[in-house]
Amino acid sequence: MTDPPARSFELLSRETVWSGRIVHATRNVYRYPDGREQVREIVHHPGAAAVVAHDDLHVWLVVQPREAIGEPDVLEIPAGKLDVPGEPPLECARRELVEEVGKTAREWEPIVSFAPSVGVMDEIIHIFHATGLGEAPGGAAAQPDERIEIVAWPLDDLDGAIAVARDSKTLIGLMWLRERLRR
């Protein structure tokens, strides 16, 4: 694989222009090697962990509203924000699997870490593969404001899930799983 050409820039200033409960936005000024300066507005997000969890028959998904895109029912792999100080992405993924679908897993494997919106946001999403599933004591424990419905999607219809998936982490995770199962 060929590496992209080396480029550089220098951060000259950063001003917080908005701060919310989860994210904040800054107006940053950068200088490039040619001397020109560029202003960029950046949304800062703590990141997230997501899980492609399956047994021999099903991949475990959730349906929940995503108000940002005006959709009441978005099919997704279980995921959550890295909002516990010091919690590694794998531990967040384990926690979210229990909270959202009431499952635990014996085997965990990292799939990919990616930036879903590199032009405007610094969020990194870490996707993990989880197998050897079992029932979590007490079952799913999603927060009341999450409005999550658990979906046991048939593994033999991954193409159907991919066809209706709308968000990047779910598409990446399900396409990865489809390729893994073809081996």
Q: How high is the pLDDT of residue 172?
A: 99
Q: How high is the pLDDT of residue 3?
A: 78
Considering the domain architecture, whether residues 82 and 128 belong to the same structural domain is answered as yes
The answer to whether residue 140 is domain-embedded is yes
Q: What single string gives the DSSP state of each residue in 75-111?
A: EE--EEE--STT--HHHHHHHHHHHHH-EEEEEEEEE
Considering the domain architecture, whether residues 114 and 163 belong to the same structural domain is answered as yes
Q: What is the mean pLDDT of residues 131-150?
A: 87
Considering the domain architecture, whether residues 34 and 81 belong to the same structural domain is answered as no
Considering the domain architecture, whether residues 24 and 64 belong to the same structural domain is answered as no
Alpha helix (H) residue ranges in the chain: 89-101, 158-164, 168-182
Residue 142 pLDDT class (50, 70, 90 cuts) = low
Tell me the pLDDT tens digit for each residue of 34-88.
Answer: 999 999 999 999 999 999 999 999 999 999 999 999 999 999 999 999 999 999 9
Contacts of 169 (CB under 8 A, 6+ apart): 48, 50, 76, 77, 79, 116, 125, 127
Strand partners, 148: none
Considering the domain architecture, whether residues 70 and 152 belong to the same structural domain is answered as yes
Considering the domain architecture, whether residues 53 and 136 belong to the same structural domain is answered as yes
Strand partners, 79: 50
CA dist 116 and 119 (Å) reads 9
Q: What is the mean pLDDT of residues 146-173?
A: 96
Residue 166 φ then ψ, to 5°: -120, -15
Considering the domain architecture, whether residues 40 and 100 belong to the same structural domain is answered as no
The answer to whether residue 3 is domain-embedded is no
Residue 144 pLDDT class (50, 70, 90 cuts) = confident
Residue 141 φ then ψ, to 5°: -140, 45
Please give the positions annotated as active site. 146
Residue 4 has pLDDT above 80, yes or no: no
Tell me which residue of 105, 110, 100, 95 sits closest to 146, measured CA to CA: 100
Kindly state the percentage of the chain with pLDDT values over 90: 90
Q: For 136, which DSSP code?
A: P
| Domains of the chain: total | 2
Considering the domain architecture, whether residues 73 and 141 belong to the same structural domain is answered as yes
Instruction: Find the domain containing 19 and state its range.
Output: 10-44
Q: What are the Cα distances from residue 10, in Å, to 27, 32, 104, 123?
A: 14, 6, 44, 20
Considering the domain architecture, whether residues 40 and 59 belong to the same structural domain is answered as no
Q: How high is the pLDDT of residue 140?
A: 82
